[in-house]
Amino acid sequence: MAVPAIELHDLAFGWSAGEPLLSIAHFSVARGERVLLHGPSGCGKSTLLGLVGGVIRPSRGTIRLLGEDLTTMSAPQRDAFRAEHMGFIFQLFNLVPYLSVLDNVLLPLRFSRPRRERVPDPRSEALRLLDALGLQDRRLLQRRATELSVGQQQRVAAARAMLGRAEILVADEPTSALDADTREAFLRLLMRECASAGSSVLFVSHDRSLGTCFDRSVSLQELGDLPPGLEPS
Amino acid sequence: MTALPGLALRSLWNRRGTAALTVFAIAVSVALLLGVQMLRDSAKQSFAGTISGTDLVVGPRGGPVNLLLYSVFHIGEPTANVSWASYRLVAQHRDVAWTVPLSLGDSHRGFRVVGTDRAYFAHYRYAGRQPLRFAQGTSFAAADETVLGAEVAKSLGYRIGDRIVLSHGLGAGSFVQHDAVPLRVAGILAPTGTPVDRTVHVGLDTLDTVHGTAAGAGEHAAITAFLVGMKSRDTVLVMQRALNEYRGEALQAVIPGVALADLWRVVGVADRALLAVAACVALAGLLGMLAAILTSLNERRREMAILRSVGAGPRHIFGLLVLEAGLLAVAGVAFGVVLSYALQLIARPWIASRYGITLAVGPLTWVEVAILAAVVLSALLLSAYPAWRAYRVALADGLSVRL
């Protein structure tokens, strides 16, 4: 069996030793799999994103991404891993305000040489992704990111997250600021593009009705309960 | 790390209003710093160039600095005189090329009168052995003639042919006027930037006539001091020693360069204070930049979270802020240099005509380059504080900003 894109095992995180904010017995996302992780706000979604993104370390357990153990890496190694293999889309404020749309899309290539080398012609690849995500208007390219509508901004963020064939796409409520029609179109285009690129998707949302667009839908709260026979020894 | 310069530039461009003000503040303080440094250099050169080409200044025994002060700078009063006999003795010595007598004690409307002879205009040198030059007229020929320094003529509005009257004593309000003997202005010297500009020159004969102390042809009453030029530099120390040990009269001989250096150590305190003030202004400019960066930090937390999500580490955030400060400082320094050259070029003719000091507008000196480097380095060091705060924030916020 192929190495999973994301594999969390016996994971716990808490600021103090007592009650952990987040506790996950086992969770994995296969390569190319698109998973919706849903749960009410305050159930530890941001913490999970921080753990998977490698910006915080778990109190316990292992995080394996593409087979590599994040918990044994140094902070700069985790930053480099994130730069090379991952893409993020947030709910709002995805774009650097002083960069143009095109420069925002090209941003991940600035921080990772391997990722830059995967894209021989960054500009045309950026244009292709923006096209595929429904931003065909070339006049937008040199606009400042802040001049775009929220829906346009989310598409730019998605193009950025995918540029350079990021293996893992992590999205944190990227559609909750969009109206229903835009949300539908955005999700459809995003999923189609991820499928063609073979990217795995971890999509976090409070809205479980989005589940129909995904391969699998999981409740974050249920992840804390250990399946029988898998208790940590 | 290639990511950062482009980002820093665009980030600054995005805040170009604040950035321009910061750059301008740094530029003004840098221009001030360079201006002060250049004025210090010019002042020191001009000071050191007050007298040049003279091997010894000889006067009555006392402090060397004091002798230099009253004989060359015309500050303070001589304590004793040098006899004409001693002067003749030195003047006729076989190793001596030339001598210039100086007799002080009179004034004209606040300007000192120096009694001397025509050798003064031939041998007095200043600032890199430049000779005195007549702007108008010639040296005094008759006993009722005088030669004015540039500033005397300018501030009192004298022209060739005007008649002036000397006063006994040095105060502007002296009561004893030598009005029986009015003098005709025969020549006016070009500005030199030295005390010569503030001096009224007359012949020793003239002083004798004025004072009624004529001692016969070629003979004079005592003088205050005299300048000596030796035929060979090798004999300067021998002559100095001989004069200092001369038993016939209590004399001292001073090498001007040595005494000037002594004097500069005293005067130099003021100019170091000036430099310290300029350095404080530069620091204020940099603190302004620090404040601007610190203020912007909070509104940039989202930007930092975005940068982190695309793979930037906290150290990148740190580097970005230091880089931005560095760019501001470099731009400020560059603009400051341009500003300072522009000011120097504008001020040059004015300073030359007013003070006789020709500003040497040349390439930056090593000291100036070091000052500029110190400004940029200070900016980088200061920026470590906001950069460190941003580092902490980036570390704590991670990918999501909790505002």
CB atoms closer than 10 angstroms to residue A225: 11
The runs of H, that is alpha helices, within B62-177 are 64-68, 84-91, 119-123, 150-156
Average pLDDT over residues B241-263: 89
Tens of pLDDT, residue by residue over A59-115, are 888 899 998 888 899 988 998 899 899 999 988 888 888 888 888 899 888 888 888
Assess whether B239 and B331 both reside in one domain. no
Which amino acid appears at position A9 of this protein?
Answer: H
Phi, psi of A63 (to 5 degrees): -125, 115
Q: Does A221 or B385 have the greater pLDDT score?
A: B385
Cα gap A38→A173, rounded to integer Å: 10
Confidence of residue B118 (pLDDT cuts 50, 70, 90): confident
Which CA distances in Å does B138 have to B78, B101, B135? 29, 19, 9
Determine contact: B392 vs chain A, CB below 8 A: no
CB distance A44 to A220 below 8 Å:
yes
What average pLDDT does the segment A37-49 reach? 80
Q: Are residues B206 and B340 in the same domain?
A: no
pLDDT of residue B128: 78
What mean pLDDT is predicted for residues B253-263? 87
Taking CB atoms and an 8 Å limit, are B310 and A84 in contact across chains? no
B259 domain residue, yes or no: no
| Strand bridging mode A200-205 / A168-172 | parallel
For chain A, the maximum distance between any two Cα atoms, rounded to a whole number of angstroms, is 59
Extract the tokens encoding B349: 């003719």
Between chains, do A53 and B309 touch, taking CB under 8 Å as contact?
Answer: yes
User: Is there a domain that residue B261 lies in?
Assistant: no
Contact B400 A46 (CB under 8 A): yes
pLDDT in the model for residue B225: 93
Token duo for residue B387 = 């950069």
Q: What is the pLDDT of residue B23?
A: 93
* Chain mean pLDDT for chain B: 86
A131 confidence band (pLDDT: 50, 70, 90): confident
Predicted local distance difference test score (pLDDT) of residue B216: 62
Q: B185 and B119 in one domain?
A: yes
A1 contacts: CB under 8 Å, gap ≥ 6: none
Q: For position B38, what pLDDT does the model report?
A: 82
B 11-70: CB under 8 A from A: 11, 13-15
Q: Are residues B21 and B78 in the same domain?
A: no
Smallest CA–CA separation between B260 and chain A, in Å? 59
B156 and B216 fall within a common domain: yes
**Percent of chain A whose predicted confidence (pLDDT) is above 90:** 8
Residue with tokens 């530099």: B233
B205 and B81 in a common domain: yes
Q: Please choose, from the candidates A227, A226, A219, A232, the residue with its C-alpha nearest in 3D space to the C-alpha of residue A48.
A: A219
The Cα–Cα gap between A116 and B311 comes to 13
Amino acid at B327: L
The verdict on B208 and B283 lying in the same domain is: no
Question: Strand B96-108 to strand A86-89: parallel, antiparallel, or no bridges (unpaired)?
Answer: unpaired
CB contact B247 to A (< 8 Å): no
The residues facing B305 across adjacent strands are none
- Please report whether residue B341 resides in a domain: yes
Which pLDDT value is given to residue B274? 84
What is the interface pTM, i.e. ipTM, of the complex? Answer: 0.87
Q: What is the CA radius of gyration of chain A?
A: 18
Residue from the list B13, B303, B399 with its beta carbon closest to the beta carbon of A50:
B399
* DSSP label at residue B222: -
Angle in degrees, 0-180, between the axes of helices B16-48 and B366-397, rounded to the nearest 10: 150
More confident residue, B43 or B191: B191
pLDDT digits (tens, 9 = 90+) for B97-113: 999 999 988 888 888 99
Residues B212 and B281 both lie in one domain: no
What is the biggest distance separating any 2 CA atoms in chain B, rounded to whole angstroms? 103
Of B6, B15, B311, which has the smallest distance from its Cβ to A112's Cβ?
A: B311
pLDDT reported for residue B171? 60
A117-126 pLDDT, tens digit each: 888 888 888 8
pLDDT greater than 80 at residue B353:
no
Question: A179-188, B349-358, B391-400: which range is least confident on average?
Answer: B349-358
Class of domain A33-58+75-219 (CATH, top level)? alpha beta
A59-73, B50-64, B262-276: the lowest-pLDDT one: B262-276
Q: What's the CA gap between A111 and B272, in Å, rounded?
A: 48
Mutate to test the interface with A, among B2, B306, B308 (most CBs of A within 10 A): B306
Query: How far apart are alpha carbons B319 and B324 in whole angstroms?
Result: 8
CA–CA distance, B141 with A212 (Å, rounded to integer): 116
**Strand B199-203 and strand B145-148: pairing?**
antiparallel
Give the residue, B100 or B313, on which the prediction is more confident.
B100
As a whole number of angstroms, the distance between CA B243 and CA B341 comes to 48
**Do B70 and B131 sit in the same domain of this protein?**
yes
Number of domains in chain B: 2
Closest by CA to B26, choosing from B396, B284, B257, B240, is B284
Looking at B203, B228, B254, the residue that finishes a domain is B254
Residues B199 and B332 in one domain: no
pLDDT at B403: 54
> Which one is predicted more confidently, B36 or B331?
B331
Size of interface A-B (CB pairs under 8 A): 78
Q: Do B307 and A75 touch (CB under 8 A)?
A: no
Residue A232, pLDDT > 60, answer no
The answer for A 176-205 residues in CB contact with B (under 8 A) is none
B75 shares its domain with B169: yes
**Residues facing A37 on adjacent strands:** A204, A218
Whether B131 is covered by a domain: the verdict is yes
- Please give the share of chain A, as a percent, with pLDDT higher than 70: 93
Query: Using a CB-CB distance cutoff of 8 angstroms, which residues of chain A are in contact with residue B11?
Result: 98
Sequence-separated (6 or more) residues with CB below 8 Å from residue B65: B259, B262, B263, B266
pLDDT confidence of residue A233: 41
pLDDT of residue A228: 47
Of B230, B254, B278, the one marking the end of a domain is B254
Q: Where are the domains positioned within chain A?
A: 33-58+75-219
Nearest CA in chain B to A84: B311
Give me the domain span that covers residue B375: 3-48+267-397
- Whether the per-residue pLDDT at B394 is higher than 90: the answer is no
Closest-CA distance, B20 to chain A, in angstroms, reads: 16
B368 and B282 in one domain?
yes
Q: Return the pLDDT at B147.
A: 94
Say if B324 falls within a structural domain: yes
Closest by CA to B233, choosing from B96, B132, B125, is B96
Which pLDDT belongs to residue A230?
46
pTM equals 0.74
Contact A69, A46 (CB under 8 A): no
Are B325 and B379 in contact, with CB atoms under 8 Å apart?
A: yes
Residue ending a domain, among B254, B287, B309, is: B254
Instruction: Name the residue among A56, A75, A108 with its Cβ closest to that of B310.
Output: A108
Task: Please answer yes or no on whether A50 and B400 come within 8 Å at the CB atom.
Answer: yes
pLDDT reported for residue A231: 46
Which pLDDT tens digit goes with each residue over B293-307?
888 888 888 888 888
| Confidence tier at B25 by pLDDT (50, 70, 90) | very high
B144 pLDDT above the threshold of 80: yes
> Could you give the 3-state DSSP secondary structure of residue B93?
coil
